[in-house]
Amino acid sequence: MDEARASQLVNAVVTGSNALLQIARTALRNHKSLAGSGHYAEKFHDALVKLTAVEKLVMPVIVSIDGFDSGPLQQNLTTLKSTIATERARVDANNQVRLLCETEILPNIQNLTGPQQPSSEMVLPSAVLAKAPTYLQRSLLQANGCYERRWFDASSVMIRKLIENLIIDVYEKHGKEGEIKKDSDYFMLSGLITAILHQNYWQLQRETKRELPEIKKLGDRAAHNRRYEATKQDIDQIRSGLRAAVDDLLHLAGHK
């Protein structure tokens, strides 16, 4: 379930609980029962069915939030769905549902709907970037995930992004990022690779020097060539060189 859909369902829980409260209040003012087959009973039942359907969809996401106890939420929803609860109890329960959804559940939805871990790590093992910043780890996760799903163009682009950010990190680590900028913007990968291959500050490994242009070539073709489609073989050909280059850049950037 993606973030937008999960957020939509959480908001639907708030909407549904409020609908039950309002129907119950109106029925109380008119001295009508929520049980049986009367007008208000049927409206209450319809709203209850809608809310229950939403709960079934979103509750697996909610209960997976680390450190969040879903018990109070479910208890308050039970109160709202009761045909015999008092008005005071319903109001309190509705307030609690909204509070929990808006302050504890929605802020955590993004973390719950991030990229899933692929079952294989064919591009690079995630352990290689174990001490690297999250943005680098996410690029590798997506490169591995796209490869696993045979989305080789997308995997190539994520490999390109990983190398691009690693080179920037090297320059930032040593306070020399101004050398890879034009008008306050970082160079594209072509400029970054040209810069790092011709600098005199760090001794790049021989394999890194050889492989960086090949990695760039693959990423550029996948990202910019309309008629080019990367294949498994294309990525497999740069995998061993990629590992060496990534290790080299990680050390220079202080991430190892």
> What pLDDT digit, counting tens, does each position of 14-24 carry?
999 999 999 99
Q: 187, 180 in Cβ contact below 8 A? A: yes
**Domain-located, residue 120:** no
Domain containing 83 equals 3-112
**Domain-located, residue 117:** no
Give the pLDDT band (50/70/90) at residue 114. Answer: low
Residues 130 and 249 in one domain: yes
What gap in Å lies between CA 48 and CA 56, rounded to an integer?
12
Average pLDDT, the chain: 90
Closest among 216, 208, 213, 218 to 240, alpha carbons compared: 208
**Domain-located, residue 165:** yes
Q: 249, 240 in Cβ contact below 8 A? A: no
* Entry pTM: 0.58
Closest among 101, 76, 111 to 91, alpha carbons compared: 76
Residues 146 and 179 in one domain: yes
